[in-house]
Amino acid sequence: MEQEHMAIEAGQDDRCTLPCALDYMLTNRIAGVVAIRPSFNKNIQSRPVLHASRSKSLQSSSRPAFRAGYTQFFASSTGGDGAEGGPILVIVESPSKAKIIQSFLDSLYVVESCMGHVRDLPQSAKSIPPELKGRFGKVVGVDPDNQFEPLYVTLPGKEPLIKRLQTIQRKAKQIILATDEDREGEAISWHLLELLKPKVPVKRAVFHEITKDAITRSFQDLRSIDLNLVQAQETRRILDRLAGFTMSPLLWKKIARG
């Protein structure tokens, strides 16, 4: 944080050009995150993350996706409260994609859409519960003094969708997360897992084309969530927030001054 203040002060100095100030600030900020994240990832199984919904109800979690036994959870062939003879819930990102895939499958499958991202860093300090603003208010949604820990909130308007998926999953015997294969899609699957907290087996399916053969092959080659991709997306998101939050005031000052 001290380096950040130095960079801002440098930006206020007429002798320091805008590119110079931005480069100084961004280089030091990224170096700090990169230095922290490797040690952070080693201890990620025990790192708590706080979750806040839009209604500001709060709960604590030790991040099941990174917890010991996660692989066994995905490999399990027995579930919890799901109906033994119930359907298999398939979750994709796009509603149009869900409709097409449903037409390829029999009545054993129920295909639903999550309509993209379901959780993210808060868009503003208003979404942060008062008791957490001390930690996550300096850089909205990120605690720079605690290994750059993120605070995730359910995106506005997604609560009814999450409740609908929770209702459907209670009758399902298995869940297949079929979001896109890139790191954004992998992160969406992980966030769905965090929000739904399923008690039935969960698998991950990926495919590169929307055809019956491609869907069938992907369901025959199910895997677990790729945590490397999830961590990559999370780190990229934190860097985006840090860079934008720290550089925006400097940009406004420089642009306003011409």
Cβ atoms < 10 Å from Cβ of 84: 8
Q: Are strands 174-177 and 88-92 parallel, antiparallel or unpaired?
A: parallel
**Locus of tokens 């001390």:** 134
Q: What are the DSSP E strand ranges found in the chain?
A: 49-52, 58-61, 88-92, 109-113, 119-120, 142-143, 149-150, 152-154, 174-177, 202-204
- Give me the pLDDT at residue 213, please: 97
**What does the pLDDT read at residue 111?**
98
Residue 51: per-residue pLDDT: 41
What pLDDT is attached to residue 236?
94
Tokens, residue 225: 């969530």
Amino acid at the residue 173: K
What are the beta bridge partners of residue 60?
Answer: 50
227, two tokens: 């945590």
Torsion on CA atoms 6, 9, 13, 17, rounded to nearest 10: 60
Give pLDDT, residue 245.
72
Count the alpha carbons within 13 Å of 193 in the hemisphere toward its beta carbon. Answer: 31
pLDDT for position 189:
98
| Amino acid 28: pLDDT | 52
Q: Which amino acid is at 198?
A: P
- Per-10-residue mean pLDDT of the chain, 258 residues long, equals 40 43 47 47 39 34 34 37 79 97 96 97 92 92 93 96 96 97 96 96 96 96 96 94 77 66
**Residue 36: what residue type?**
I
